[in-house]
Amino acid sequence: MIVIVDERELVQEGFHSLFDREGVATASFGSNEFGEWVTTVADEDLKSVRAFLIGDCSNGAVSPRKIRDRTGAPVIALSEHHSLENTLMLFESGVDDVIRKPVHIREILARISAIRRRVQEEHEHIEVGSMKIFLDGREPEIDGQSLPLPRRERRILEYLASNRGRRVTKSQVFNAIYGIFDDEVEENVVESHISKLRKKLRERLGFDPIDSKRFLGYRLVV
């Protein structure tokens, strides 16, 4: 999930639509409500956030350093003022990157992936047995052959791979894929997605690589 902070509802809705086309969940806030949310939200919910995008906000209303106190997710400023002074000011405030608008949504995702690789020392892919699972939206590979997956199933596999060796709950998977504020989708949809994903993986691998335990969640077998 990507969190967008901007005072303009039209901008929030625009980003939500664009990210949704890429299969990426979002949550959006005005600067005042975001300040309260980021200091009070549960740690488990913050783990679902891939990055924060900070747009047009009141001066000083959003502190990148306060975000950093809660999470290591990248903080990126979206700038409409193309000046060196403004860019330097944004970096001094503590953001990880400054992106000048207009910008294609895929460039934003690429920059987020690049920052996460540097900060978390992530690789561009994760190998689990004969599976190669990419973290940049590409289809996974099994024994060198691509495995086409619907975007939700692909994101679930990426999320499980990123947490390989650890068990994640159904709520954590849902929050990562759909966002913590999506009231239009039932959380149980995760079970359907994972059931379809397991069937496809089992057909190619000859076994089920996703271990599930009731009430405890899911784990990708390493």
Residues 110-151 have pLDDT tens digits of: 999 888 777 655 556 788 889 999 877 789 999 999 999 998
User: What pLDDT shows up at residue 80?
Assistant: 87
Q: Is the pLDDT of residue 61 over 80?
A: no
Q: What is the mean pLDDT of residues 181-186?
A: 66
**The residue to which tokens 């209303």 are assigned:** 61
139 and 74 in one domain?
no
Q: Which of 6, 48, 57 is nearest to 28 (CA)?
A: 6
Q: What is the mean pLDDT of residues 66-85?
A: 89
User: What pLDDT shows up at residue 107?
Assistant: 94
User: What pLDDT shows up at residue 116?
Assistant: 77
pLDDT band of 221, cuts 50, 70, 90? confident
Where is the domain boundary, 63, 86, 120?
120
Where is the domain boundary, 77, 93, 120?
120
Q: Are 219 and 211 in contact (CB under 8 A)?
A: yes
97 and 181 in one domain?
no
Q: Are 194 and 210 in contact (CB under 8 A)?
A: yes
How many structural domains comprise the chain?
2
The pairing of beta strand 141-142 with beta strand 145-146: antiparallel
Q: Is the pLDDT of residue 32 over 90?
A: no
51 and 33 in one domain?
yes
132 and 103 in one domain?
no
Q: Is the pLDDT of residue 60 over 70?
A: no
Q: Is the pLDDT of residue 62 over 80?
A: yes
pLDDT band of 81, cuts 50, 70, 90? confident
Which range among 38-42, 88-92, 163-167, 170-174 shows the weakest confidence by mean pLDDT?
163-167
DSSP state string for the chain: -EEEE-S-HHHHHHHHHHHHHTT--EEEE-HHHHHHHHHHS-HHHHTT--EEEE-S--TTTS-HHHHHHH--S-EEEEES---HHHHHHHHHTT-SEEEESS--HHHHHHHHHHHHHHHH---SEEEETTEEEESSSPPPEETTEE----HHHHHHHHHHHHTTTS-B-HHHHHHHHH-TT--SS-TTHHHHHHHHHHHHHHHHHSS--EEEETTTEEEE--
Q: What is the distance between the alpha carbons of residues 142 and 23, in angstroms, rounded to a whole number?
A: 22
146 and 106 in one domain?
no
Which range among 45-49, 56-60, 116-120, 141-145 shows the weakest confidence by mean pLDDT?
116-120
Q: Is the pLDDT of residue 197 over 70?
A: yes
154 and 80 in one domain?
no
Q: Which residue has the higher pLDDT, 5 or 124?
A: 5
The residue segments making up the domain with residue 211 are 125-220
Give the CATH number for residue 196.
1.10.10.10
Give the CATH number for residue 73.
3.40.50.2300
Q: What is the distance between the alpha carbons of residues 29 and 188, in angstroms, rounded to a whole number?
A: 26
Q: What is the mean pLDDT of the chain?
A: 87
